[in-house]
Amino acid sequence: QSVLTQPPSVSGAPGQRVTISCTGSSSNIGSGYDVHWYQQLPGTAPKLLIYGNNNRPSGVPDRFSGSRSGTSASLAITGLQAEDEADYYCQSYDNSLSAWVFGGGTKLTIL
């Protein structure tokens, strides 16, 4: 069981908007530690998608955005495209474990 909780799956039609939640606790997100998001296309390594809650690395489309509030964070994807079909993971730091922790991952399916 992951320290950060994500829905196992979400889906949306091309052009629509979806959000993926990441729920933590007072020892990780709730302590103010930044949340990062990774996109993992089938058969490939994870790629940094959002860092520091709401920042996009160079080359990531502005269709992807992140937010953090309290003990949770969210990833929003607007204007869904077929190429967005992938697994998405949130990540933060947990001070009770003294460990970097990941969510269990969310599979995005494009209908």
Identify which of residues 57 and 79 has a Cβ nearer to another protein in the complex: 57
- Min separation Cβ 84 and another protein, Å: 19
- Min separation Cβ 69 and another protein, Å: 17
Binding site for another protein (CB under 8 A): 2, 33-34, 36, 38, 44-48, 51-52, 57, 89, 91, 93, 97-105
User: Which DSSP letter does residue 57 get?
Assistant: -
- Min separation Cβ 87 and another protein, Å: 8
**Paired residues of 64 in beta bridges:** 77
Measured distance CA(61)–CA(30) in Å, rounded: 28
Measured distance CA(44)–CA(82) in Å, rounded: 17
